[in-house]
Structure 1
Amino acid sequence: MSMYNDYNRYDLCPNDPGYPDGHHHKHHCNPCATLTTIRRVNTRILGGAIIPFASDFIAPVILTTIAGNLFSDATIVGFGSAFPGFTLTNNGTTLTIPTGTPDEAFSMPRSGIITSIAAHFTVLTAVTLTTPVTIVAQLFRANSTTFTAIPGALVNLDPLQGSLSIGDSVSGIANFEAPVEAGSRVMMVFYATNPTGVASVVRGYVNAGAEIK
């Protein structure tokens, strides 16, 4: 086991006179700048925090594309909840939340970098699509009721096409680097794209995870 892992797992302090005999950090120095630094290094080496998202049974994700439109309406996905029917504007990069409507966003306590998103969609209602539809999971941010897409912080799921049965599913994962400032409100949004502009409706359940370092 490496030195970094020793400190991270057992909460031992290199300034502890008992180290490495197993004395715990909390009995000898509080706070310890060295241990704090090592924990920060560990987070960046071993991975960041994982933020989970999921819809629920009561309010499934409903993605409706209107004939002639590239983007469907959007569904906001939180932590066991989903709210469909929001309109994307500015080529899919802007979403405005009406006053009094829950936005399911979380706040960034410090600046960080979003490094990956994984997402999954499961079909709830059987449907036949005449043209392929691609579901997108994207993170938006805001300091007001208007959210804008975080550049690059998205994943395209495998296309849905043809006859879909209940339980069919698609997924995707993407790696990138998208900085987010402290104080930003971050929200997960699912929407669908249809490059042919043919009307379609897909219903299902979603889950996703985003890594932030």
Structure 2
Amino acid sequence: MPGTRRTGIQTALLTVPLVVGLLGATALPARAAAATGPRPATSLTCRGAGVDPGARVRHRAAILVDAPLSTVWKLQTDVERWPTWQAPVTSAERLDHGPLRPGSAFRWTTPVPPNPTPATSLEITSTVTQLRRHSCIRWTGPATGEGLHIDGVHVWNFTETRGGVLVSTEETHTGPQVDADVPTATALLRQGLKSWLHDLKATAEAERTGEEPA
């Protein structure tokens, strides 16, 4: 936020709009956790499976990408390429080989600045549970760092339209740190997903035109 110093919590969540929702090296302030608006009537699904129905921290977002579905899909599923178009991802490795498929797993990391503990790194291990090629992906997994453990579920839908590809995503988080302050955790998740969608759109559209992403 302009004019203020971001906490490790804010930095982790704002800069990593990714698989499992992340928090920094310190817990969110404890206060009464009120719900932040009504939940969608239905959740996004992939092969019938959706996000965690009991999670209080959740957000859903979408963006229209003016690029071929094959380009969007390849960017999203080529996990080891994530660091080239998502600056907060410092490393990403597949734990298996071949095309992304149910059972595939990948591990990736993002730094957390000192706040006030020494700088550290969050490690996320994600496992694909459902996938339909060029249509949807669902993955789950924990984010772990010093003094925290958060579980996330993330669903992606890809729908061809006249204007390109509608990319829709929904994510839920559970864990002591996020449950301690649901409104703040939800707001940070919202901003993170918005950032990821923006980067995906910019990169896919740049590849379509042969230009550098904005």
Between Structure 1 and Structure 2, the one with more strand by share is 1
Between Structure 1 and Structure 2, the one with more helix by share is 2
Structure 2 length normalisation: TM-score? 0.27
